[in-house]
């Protein structure tokens, strides 16, 4: 730290913190070039991630060094690279380091491009919860569970939706790793996700973790972590083949009357009335009986067709063709 003090000769006290500033100039670390501005956050209370490409990709490779208060400066050993250009750095940290100021320096060759002090207490981003599961409990309620790498001092937020409707979100108290829906409907689909952040009592981070992987339950009362179920490539093919088959069947029925009669037989209407035909005087009538024929005789086919479509003149002419001597016959249908 001695080389920093060589160009600094004004000492101010601000809320019990010692702060060095240049004479008649703003603090050294507080006004970096915006194009080379460095932004940092603590990931899962295990690593510090810093990037300097928020305002555009840098055109050159920078070297980066950093340290926490009361520690020594160290050069970056794990750069983030994009298109062969360094855009960030990752370094390890301890859980309690978030309460200390974090110093960063960005250089290009011998030229210093950025100097900055970071307060990271409210910039802690946890990893998303893992091992998310959902199942029906012994109490017939639907239970959603998850695991958190740092269960203490963690607030959780659960969101769920039913049948792909808009999400409903609810807060889950610290150190609780489950959420319950009372008496779910087996005919509905329930989908869950959860995210976490540090509680107020342990630093009160402003950054939530990403949402966990989704998990769903419903319809067939089973858990399904793969929400996007792909449709089989054969499904549309079967739909097309079925539609073509139906169209061909309709065309065949319309063009082939014989096939239509076989598949859909026509039921004849019952006779509501029949013509009266007189038999010779004194001759008793009986079903399907005429003069010169025994009672058991069967009427000719032409006569039967006339019975279905009664017409007196045609009926008499068919009697003559059949060789029946009687011209006046009364037809008696069987009861």
3-class DSSP state of 96: helix
Residue range 182-205: mean pLDDT, rounded: 91
Please report which confidence band the pLDDT of residue 5 belongs to, taking 50, 70 and 90 as the band edges. Answer: very low
- What pLDDT is attached to residue 79? 95
Split at pLDDT 50, 70, 90, the class of 267 is: low
Burial of 181 (0-12, 13-18, 19+ CB in 10 A): middle
pLDDT greater at residue 40 or residue 317: 40
Overall average pLDDT of the 111-123 stretch:
93
Domain definitions of the chain by residue range:
32-124, 127-224, 234-263, 275-335
Q: For residues 132-156, give the mean pLDDT.
A: 90
b/e sequence 59-83, b meaning 16+ C-beta within 10 Å: eeebebebbbeeeeeeebeeebeee
**Treating both helix axes as pointing N-terminal to C-terminal, what angle do 312-321 and 301-308 enclose, rounded to 10 degrees?**
170
Per-residue pLDDT, 201: 84
Residue 136 has pLDDT above 80, yes or no: yes
Does residue 253 surpass a pLDDT of 90? no
Instruction: State the DSSP string of 61-84.
Output: PPEEEEEETTS--EE-SSEEEETT
Confidence of residue 218 (pLDDT cuts 50, 70, 90): confident
pTM of structure: 0.56
What would the CATH number be for the domain defined by 32-124? 2.60.40.10
Sign, Cα dihedral of 29, 30, 32, 34: positive
pLDDT over threshold 60, residue 73: yes
The pLDDT, as a whole number, for residue 169 is: 95
d(CA 312, CA 32): 116
CATH classification for the domain delimited by 127-224, as one of 3.40.50.2300, 3.30.1360.20, 3.40.50.620, 2.60.40.10: 2.60.40.10
Are 32-124 and 127-224 equal in CATH topology?
yes
> How much is the average pLDDT of 277-301?
48
Both ends of the chain: CA-CA distance in Å? Answer: 125
Residue 302, SS3?
Answer: helix
Q: Which residue has the higher pLDDT, 224 or 21?
A: 224
Closest Cα partner for 177 from 206, 157, 198?
A: 157
């Amino acid at each position: 730290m001695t080389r920093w003090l060589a160009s600094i000769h004004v000492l101010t006290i601000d809320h019990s913190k010692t702060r060095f500033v240049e004479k008649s100039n703003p603090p050294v670390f507080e006004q970096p070039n915006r194009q080379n501005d460095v932004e940092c956050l603590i990931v899962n209370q295990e690593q510090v991630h810093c990037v300097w490409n928020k305002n555009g990709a840098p055109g050159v490779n920078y070297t980066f060094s950093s340290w926490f208060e009361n520690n020594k400066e160290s050069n970056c050993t794990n750069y983030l690279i994009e298109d062969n250009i360094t855009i960030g750095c990752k370094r390890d940290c301890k859980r309690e380091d978030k309460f200390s100021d974090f110093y960063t320096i960005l250089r290009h060759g011998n030229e210093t491009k950025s100097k900055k002090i970071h307060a990271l207490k409210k910039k802690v981003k946890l990893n998303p919860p893992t091992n998310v599961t959902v199942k029906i409990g012994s109490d017939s309620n639907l239970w959603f569970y998850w695991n958190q790498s740092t269960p203490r001092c963690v607030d959780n937020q659960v969101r769920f939706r039913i049948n792909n409707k808009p999400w409903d979100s609810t807060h889950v108290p610290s150190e609780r790793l489950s959420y319950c829906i009372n008496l779910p409907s087996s005919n509905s689909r329930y989908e869950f996700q959860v995210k976490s952040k540090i509680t107020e009592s342990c630093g009160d981070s402003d950054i939530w973790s990403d949402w966990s992987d989704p998990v769903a339950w419903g319809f067939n009362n089973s858990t399904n972590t793969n929400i996007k179920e792909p449709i089989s490539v054969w499904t549309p093919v079967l739909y097309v083949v079925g539609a073509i088959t139906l169209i061909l069947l309709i065309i065949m029925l319309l063009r082939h009357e014989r096939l239509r009669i076989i598949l859909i037989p026509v039921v004849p209407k019952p006779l509501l009335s029949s013509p009266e035909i007189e038999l010779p005087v004194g001759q008793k009538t009986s079903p399907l009986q005429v003069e010169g024929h025994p009672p058991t005789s069967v009427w000719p086919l032409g006569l039967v067709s006339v019975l279905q479509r009664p017409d007196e003149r045609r009926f008499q002419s068919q009697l003559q063709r059949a060789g029946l001597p009687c011209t006046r016959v009364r037809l008696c249908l069987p009861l």
